Amino acid sequence: MNTPPSKPLVPPRAVIFDLDGVITDTAQYHFHAWQRLAISLGLPFDEAFNESLKGIDRMGSLDRILARGGKVYSPQQKLALARQKNEHYIELISTMDSAQLLPGALQALCAVRAAGLRIGLASASRNAALVLTRLGITRCFDHVVEVAEIERPKPDPEIFLTAAQRLGVRPVQCIGVEDAAAGVAAIKGAGMWAVGIGDAEVLSHADEVISGLDQFDIQHYL
């Protein structure tokens, strides 16, 4: 078996980050919002199941939750339930501030900018702009692509390809940073170098895996 190269074959011109689990951890807010909805519907929901929703968009997550109850919901009912969850989630994230940045996140963004690279965000969240505002890092990004702007969510590569297009760089010139297997699949499907954040076994398709952005050194790729 061939050993993968330690760095991209093409020098990168941009880094495209995921948001949740990479720059900040909103998993607890999603968990509480989904759990509140599930309880109101009489459905089971725990942290283990919440983990299985990582990287999945809102409607996809809702479908998985509702499937546990066996009841059929109309598209209109699903939209209403999704709105209900989102309203509670927005209440929760409205309390966020820069203290919720994960270790090394701001330093990594500043280092990428100092190296002269473009910076993008490719998030499965429909509230990414609000989260960035609460964290005080909106200006760190040249372009932000939310799942609402695309037709096919992760693991489809569309969101990363869209980010690269808006940044004005070829996909092969991009590094993608993700904490979810679906996100890594999207990065690789886009033809980008994939850096995984978290468990190497879960993110086995990434080109490399690090524990967090405090281990991300942009100079290594240049």
Please identify every residue annotated as catalytic. Answer: 18, 20
CB-CB contact of 17 with 119 (8 Å):
yes
Q: Which structure tokens are listed for 137?
A: 């890092």
Count Cα atoms within 13 angstroms, Cβ side, for 217.
5
Adjacent-strand bridge partners of 174: 14
Q: Which helix (H) or strand (E) holds 157?
A: none
Can you tell me whether residue 203 is helix, strand or coil?
coil
Q: Using the 8-state DSSP alphabet, how is residue 214 labeled? A: G
Whether the link from the prior residue into 171 is cis, omega within 30° of 0, is no
CA distances from 36 to 13, 85, 87 (A): 42, 8, 11
Q: How far apart are CA 134 and CA 89, in angstroms?
A: 14
Q: In what order do the strands lie in the sheet with 14-17?
A: 143-146, 118-123, 14-17, 174-178, 193-197, 208-210
Q: Which of 205, 51, 192 is nearest to 120 (CA)?
A: 192
